[in-house]
A and B are shown apart, each in its own frame.
Chain A
Amino acid sequence: GNSVTQMEGPVTLSEEAFLTINCTYTATGYPSLFWYVQYPGEGLQLLLKATKADDKGSNKGFEATYRKETTSFHLEKGSVQVSDSAVYFCALRSAAGNKLTFGGGTRVLVKP
Chain B
Amino acid sequence: DTAVSQTPKYLVTQMGNDKSIKCEQNLGHDTMYWYKQDSKKFLKIMFSYNNKELIINETVPNRFSPKSPDKAHLNLHINSLELGDSAVYFCASSPRSGGAGGTQYFGPGTRLTVL
What total of A-B pairs shows CB separation below 8 Å? 64
Say yes or no for A77: interface residue by CB 8 A criterion.
no
Q: In which size bucket is the chain B interface?
A: 20 to 34
Shortest distance in angstroms between B40's beta carbon and chain A's nearest beta carbon?
Answer: 7
Chain A residues with CB under 8 Å of B45's CB are 99-100
Whether A44 and B90, one on each chain, are in contact in the complex, defined by CB atoms closer than 8 angstroms, is yes
Tell me the dominant secondary structure on chain A's binding face. strand
A98, B90: Cβ atoms closer than 8 Å = no
Residue of B42, B105, B107 near A105 (CB, 8 A) is B42
Tell whether B102 is near chain A: CB-to-CB under 8 Å: yes
Seen from chain B, the residues whose Cβ lies within 8 Å of a Cβ on chain A are: 31, 33, 35, 40-45, 48, 50, 55-56, 58, 90, 92, 94, 96-100, 102-109
Cα distance, A95 to B44, chains bound together (Å): 18
Given A43-B109, A96-B98, A97-B98: A89 and B43 interface contact (C-beta under 8 Å): yes
A interface bracket (residues with beta carbon within 8 Å of B): 20 to 34
A53 to chain B, nearest CB (A): 12
Taking a contact as CB atoms closer than 8 A, the residue among A95, A102, A107 that contacts B43 in the complex is: A102
